[in-house]
Amino acid sequence: MLPERKQVLIVDDEPNLRKILSAQLSRDGYDVLTAEDGEQGLAQLKEHHIDLVITDLKMPKVDGMALLKRALVDEPELPIILITAHGTIDTAVEALKAGAFDFVTKPFDKDEVRQIVSKALKTRELRGADATPASAGQGARFGIIGHSTGITDLYAILERVADTPTTALITGESGTGKELVARALHEHSGRKDKPFIKVNCAAIPKELIESELFGYERGAFTGAVTSKPGRFELANGGTLFLDEIGEIPIEMQVKLLRALQESEFERVGGIKTIRVDVRLVAATNRDLKKLIAAGSFREDLFYRLNVVPVRLPALRERTGDIPLLVEHFLAKFNDRLRKKVEGVEPEALEILVSYPWPGNIRELENVIERAVLFCDTQRLSAGNLPPEIRGINAMTSSPLPEADLSAALAGEGGLKEHVKVAMSRLERELVSRALQQTGGNVTHAARLLKISRKGLQLKMKELGLREGSSDKGD
């Protein structure tokens, strides 16, 4: 199966720039939509599933900064790249603090745009592992939900080290909330009004990591048509969060170590030493000691990072927190999906607590979102949970109708054929209910199902569902 094409929205009041960028990104394999100002851009975001936005900063009606802030309210994970002819560090910091993924300055090099777009989309995929911040409420401190031993230990560490300049190393499986903890360290420190700059090291090609962290001077390499500050400069006075630190190439680790120890560095192609005041927080889901033994991570850098080790427990280690997390996600998705699910049946909650959650909190969040979406009663039941979550419980607590089982066992087909038929029926039910929930709006249904609009249209054709109708015959 071919990968789904990503959909990019270009927002700019200059027709020539829209035309040039559209042509380039289309050649690179993206589906491209355009808008001539921020107002049209926001309308496009409501109508279509967009994977990435590239917007000019200075525009009539709604400018790029306003578009950025309003778009991220509805889709916090949406990567937005700003284009500006006013490429000052102050502008960059303001944009990045507001949630921009990156910025480019006019005139820009097409390869630079290509690299930033690729990195932004890869980062969005990797960011699927991040946990969702909690609202204030029972069992929530530092924006984190829980009262298990592992989480209360975390609270104690955060209280002790948040308002210090000390470097921290956060470890834990994907989905345990490492970025959430990094933000808590920043928001509860004296640096909270300064930038919080995050870098996902796994999303950056190794040949670009140096310029990403330390910036570059004009002419430093092909395509460097202007000078650009790196993330260390942008984070000056604030916090720099290096996620997936174990992915930094060994040859770059010496320069990173020096920047941490001396608080100074040079841009790529530059000779001027730049001094910064940055609090570093790093995170990884890998065992850095094993990487050290394998020769791919420097031991001196590890000890410089591991001043305050912060280990996040996997969700299966803190099952007592699952009811609180479920309650939080129920409230979140009731609001987002305009539903009124009041709670969870004991049997369903038992299944949720006993499931091992390999994807941790993000997986739990996705399961609750889907369950709320397809729940037509006041409380979530076991039947609202996906089959893979129910596992053995699904066969005992929610068995197939006896007639279906008898027909399957009496038929000529084997197990694989019967499973294929059941999965096809499940697919049809999910697609039909998503279309019903959204009033037949294919774009919104695709967003709920987390597939592209084109992918949903193909699936509807395969299942015999006509566009504009949730299920009106083949």
73-113 pLDDT per residue, tens: 888 889 999 988 766 667 777 888 788 998 888 777 788 88
Which of 3-7, 266-270, 433-437 ranks highest by mean pLDDT?
266-270
Taking the C-alpha atoms of 232, 197, 176 and 49 in order, what is their torsion angle to the nearest 10 degrees?
-130
User: Could you report the per-residue pLDDT of 228-278, keeping only the tens digit for each?
Assistant: 889 999 999 999 999 999 999 999 999 999 999 999 999 999 999 999 999
- Asked if the peptide bond before residue 107 counts as cis, ω within 30 degrees of 0, the response is yes
317 falls in which pLDDT band (50, 70, 90)? very high
Strands (E), 128-238: 140-141, 144-145, 168-171, 196-200
15 falls in which pLDDT band (50, 70, 90)? very high
Residue-averaged pLDDT of the chain: 85
pLDDT reading at 392 higher than 50: no
Q: What's the whole-model pTM score?
A: 0.71
Distance CA 469, CA 336 (A): 23
C-beta separation of 267 from 214 below 8 A: yes
Q: What is the pLDDT of residue 411?
A: 58
Taking the C-alpha atoms of 458, 461, 467 and 471 in order, what is their torsion angle to the nearest 10 degrees?
-130
Give the mean model confidence (pLDDT) for residues 423-440.
77
If you ran DSSP here, which 8-state letter would residue 53 be given? E
Q: Which residues share a beta bridge with 343?
A: 379
Least confident span in 30-44, 61-75, 386-400: 386-400
